[in-house]
Amino acid sequence: MSDQQTPKSAGFRMPAEWAPHQRTWMMWPTREGFWPDMQETRRNYAAVARAIREFEPLTMLVRPEDAAEAKSLLGSDIDVLTNPIDDSWARDAGPCFLTDGKGGRAGVSFGFNAWGGKYQPFDGDNAAADAILNAAGVPIFHSGLIAEGGGVSVDGEGTILTTESCFPNANRNPGWSRSRIEEELKAMLGGDKVIWLPGNVEETETDGHVDGIATFVAPGVVLIEAEGPADHDWHGINLANISAIEDQTDAKGRSLRLVKIPDAASAVSDDPRFCRSYVNSYICNGGVVMPEYGIREDGLVRETFEELFPGRRVAQVPIPAIAIGGGGIHCITQQEPAA
């Protein structure tokens, strides 16, 4: 692609997650020493993949040496693509797919540095976006911005949601002003307006990815973590994020409706990385795949999802051996939109 031409100038934009998918992409867990029980984590990943496969095709990137085991756990109806990856966060290391509304598709490959250099090596994961886009057979736009897919949510109509605590962090984009980051996001994702939330500086695994805090679920509708009780660890943080968005309008000028849901605060884990976010769920063709923690909130949030997505079936998957890595179902998936 020409250095002068951007996806936006070429007529492309990132569709909303609820738009029709061609398939889902995932990446197989591999980083030794990161996962307390690698086999259990791989079983959790396989369970998520099989739940998604009930709704749409799915391809798993897998290191060549892990292919046989992955195929046995995933089953014959999930595609496996061998590639030298470092670990398993397809939302972040993978690309952001784009469409032009005329049957054309493309993708953005942002730079990836393992959430600010937190893990080594990351060169395999930094190359994963190009590998996925090449496998999908679509043109690639490369961006000089260090960014992860979990750091943005889009409504497909020009609005981008992101956080102050993530991409402007010096561990990713030193020397980039917020306004420069904003312009790059709009150029790469086809956006017209960026809404900035404070994020979460206390969530140090991703530095406050928006997909654990708030996400578009329909035009003009944002699902967001509720503030929780006053003694909740992140009560003030959640309040600040709610306050930053509640009076906003989207790129079309619509006032935003906020749908608040609790997090899984009572889920038991000693690991400070443990992901308790129900916002971190995944919308796919005809379905929504959400985490199950074995607590009362599972049912409450499921009821909210059934109201928000009346035409989709809600599937719940236990993810204790994924959440312990600091992410959830959204973090390990990346949608490829249909043309």
pLDDT in tens, 35-90: 999 999 999 999 999 999 999 999 999 999 999 999 999 999 999 999 999 999 99
Predicted confidence band of residue 3 (pLDDT cuts 50, 70, 90) = low
- Sign of the dihedral through C-alpha 231, 232, 234, 235: negative
How far is it, in rounded angstroms, from Cα 206 to Cα 283?
21
Report d(CA 75, CA 275) in Å as an integer: 27
Q: Answer whether residue 73 is part of any domain.
A: yes
> Does residue 166 have an active-site annotation?
no
Residue 241 has pLDDT above 70, yes or no: yes
The predicted model gives 106-129 an average pLDDT of 98
CB within 8 Å of 2: residues ≥ 6 apart: none
Do 52 and 85 touch, CB atoms closer than 8 A? Answer: no
Q: Quick one: pLDDT at residue 80?
A: 98
**Distance separating alpha carbons of residues 339 and 39, to the nearest angstrom:** 36
3-state helix, strand, coil in the chain (%, to 5): 30, 25, 45
The reply to whether 11 falls in a domain is: no
CATH number at 254 reads: 3.75.10.10
Residue 123 inside a domain? The answer is yes
Instruction: Name the packing angle between helices 38-53 and 67-74 (round to 10°).
Output: 50
103: left (phi over 0), alpha (psi -120 to 50) or beta: left
Average pLDDT rounded to a whole number, residues 230-249:
96
Q: Give a yes or no: residue 13 inside a domain.
A: no
Give the integer Cα–Cα distance in Å for 197 and 162. Answer: 6
Q: Is 9 inside any structural domain? A: no
Structure tokens at 46: 């396989």
CB atoms near residue 306 (< 10 Å)? 13
Q: For 281-334, write each residue's pLDDT tens digit.
A: 999 999 999 999 999 999 999 999 999 999 999 999 999 999 999 999 999 999
Active-site residue identified among 96, 166, 284, 331: 331
Helical ranges in the chain per DSSP H: 38-53, 67-74, 90-93, 114-117, 123-126, 128-136, 178-189, 235-245, 296-308, 320-323
In the predicted model, is pLDDT for residue 104 greater than 50? yes
CA distance 13 to 157: 8
Residue pointed to by tokens 């049912």: 299
In angstroms, what CA-CA distances link 54 with 78, 287, 299? Answer: 10, 9, 21
Across the chain, what does the average pLDDT equal?
Answer: 97
* Whether residue 190 has pLDDT greater than 80: yes
- Distance, in Å, from the CA atom of 92 to the CA atom of 191, rounded to the nearest integer, reads 19
**Across 222-237, average pLDDT:** 95
**Total-model pTM:** 0.97
Give me the domain span that covers residue 135. 21-337
Instruction: Identify the pLDDT of residue 4.
Output: 74
Q: What is the mean pLDDT of residues 106-116?
A: 98
User: Could you tell me how far CA 219 lies from the centroid of its own chain?
Assistant: 18
- Burial profile 265-301: b = 16 or more Cβ within 10 angstroms, e = fewer: eebeeeeeebbbbbbbbbbbbebbbbbbbeeebbeeb
Query: Residues 288, 125, 171, 189: is their CA dihedral positive or negative?
Result: negative
Task: Answer yes or no: is 308 within a domain.
Answer: yes
Q: Is pLDDT above 60 for 249?
A: yes
State how far Cα 333 lies from the chain centre.
Answer: 7
Count of structural domains, the chain: 1
In a domain, 6, yes or no: no
Above 70 in pLDDT, residue 2? no
Residue 1 has what pLDDT?
A: 44
